[in-house]
Amino acid sequence: MVVRLQGRELVNFASNDYLGLSFHADVCHAAIDCIGRSGLGSGASRLVSGDDPGMHALEARLAAWKGYEACLITGSGMLANIGLLQALADRHTHLFSDRLNHASLVDGARLSGATVHRYKHLDMQQLEALLITHQAKRRIIVSDGVFSMDGDCADVDGLIRLAGQHDCLLLIDDAHGIGTVGKSGKGLTAVPDGRDAAKAGHARLIEVGTLGKAFGGYGAFILGSTELIEGLRQRQRTMIYSTALPPAMIAAADAALTLMQKGGLVQKLQENIAYFRARAADLPIKDSATAIQPLIIGDDAEAMQAAAHLRQHGFFVPAIRPPTVPDGSARLRITITAAHEHEQIDALLAGLRQL
Ligand SMILES: *Cc1c(COP(=O)(O)O)cnc(C)c1O
């Protein structure tokens, strides 16, 4: 897991390529073989001539794996969320959104024209109070699954319960959980203990995942009921008016899913996370069980200096500053992957202790 920066090779602790699939031989060869057969680009939107049988096959595989009726593959997660919220919500809709949700959910909400109620990060009581106060014909609770800058997790079971009790839809964006959480990386909606929350909350639950993170490629997918997904095929502007993913990217994602389902890489990732955490107990790392292990520094300039220090010692760890994170919570966002060696993690810890 290395990155080249200004002629130097740095160990990369900044990537969301959690399983190292972006350079896995099976994934890369699947893409290369596909380019040999089909060429590079898809040439047009899915609704014109860019559709590909492989895309439908992968949609069926993803839906079955995750326990949903149907799936729609689109461009990036940013495009998925913007298009999904625009298609689902209008100015009569009320959205209930965690304050730390990803920018794509924030922008999607804005573009939809819906009324947005933001609740304190993970605060289920405040969410419930808002749900009681604000009635509307269509209401949607919107939350990241694993939160991208903190590595903590939404209480998915609690959200499903609230959505049921208050008759709302629930949108979970598990961009960082799929491929990393749970035994074969099914993500937050499938844990704990293999209990299939997707089935339990079936009709209300809509989920977004990306192909750009643990899948190691590019693109995104939306999971939900057949009715929802067929509706999106007709209405989701970011899919309809945008060139379809290259077929090679679909072939790569298909190979990535096969590797994910084998479980070995997911286990290796989880082992590396445990290895890092067991040795970082004395450092001010946030309490996170996921691949995202933020070290909170606070001051913007100090966070930049810390990142520069690590770069000098051979590690690429980005400083994340406001407005990406709240004021006064600048941090080093360390991501652990299955492709890290224990020695690389040990060396990073030594570098962090020098700070
Ligand atoms: C990264 C991310 C996205 C955007 O996905 P891309 O495929 O990179 O556009 C959406 N939601 C969350 C929670 C993310 O972390």
**Residues in the chain, overall count:** 355
Task: Calculate mean pLDDT across residues 314-341.
Answer: 94
The Å distance, Cα 212 to ligand 1 centre, comes to: 8
Pairing of strands 2-5, 8-12: antiparallel
Task: Return the best residue to mutate from 76, 156, 206, 335 for the ligand 1 pocket (most ligand atoms within 8 A of CB).
Answer: 76
What is the pTM (predicted TM-score) of this model? 0.95
pLDDT band for position 220 (cuts 50, 70, 90)? very high
**Does ligand 1 have an atom closer than 6 angstroms to the CB of 152?**
no
Distance CA 229, CA 214 (A): 23
Q: What is the pLDDT of residue 265?
A: 97
What pLDDT, on a 0 to 100 scale, did the predictor assign at position 6? 82
Q: Is 225 a catalytic residue?
A: no
User: Each residue of 124-140: pLDDT tens digit?
Assistant: 999 999 999 999 999 99
The pLDDT of residue 203: 77
* Sheet (strand 315-316) strand order: 2-5, 8-12, 315-316
Share of the chain above pLDDT 90, in %: 90
- Ligand 1 within 6 A of CB of 139: no
**pLDDT cut 70: percent of the chain above it:** 97
pLDDT at 200: 53
Q: How far is CA 176 from CA 144, 162, 259, in A?
A: 9, 23, 17
Q: How far apart are CA 164 and CA 159, in angstroms?
A: 9
Cα(60)–Cα(12) distance, integer angstroms: 34
The closest residue, in CA terms, to atom 4 on ligand 1 is 77
pLDDT, tens only, 57-75:
999 999 999 999 999 999 9
* β 139-144/94-98 pair status: parallel
193 pLDDT exceeds 80? Answer: no
Q: Taking residues 163-190, report their average pLDDT.
A: 94
CA distance 318 to 321: 9
- The token duo for 347 is 């060396």
Q: What per-residue confidence (pLDDT) applies to 199? A: 54
Per the structure block, which two tokens stand in for 209?
A: 């995942």
Residue 333 beta carbon below 6 angstroms from any ligand 1 atom: no
Q: Give the pLDDT of residue 198.
A: 53
**Residue 294: enclosing H or E segment and its boundaries?**
strand 292-298
How many helices and strands (H and E) does the chain possess?
A: 13, 13
The amino acid occupying position 104 is: S
210 in contact with ligand 1, CB cutoff 6 A? yes
Active-site residue, 148 included: yes
Give the integer Cα–Cα distance in Å for 221 and 228.
13
What's the whole-number average pLDDT of the chain? 94
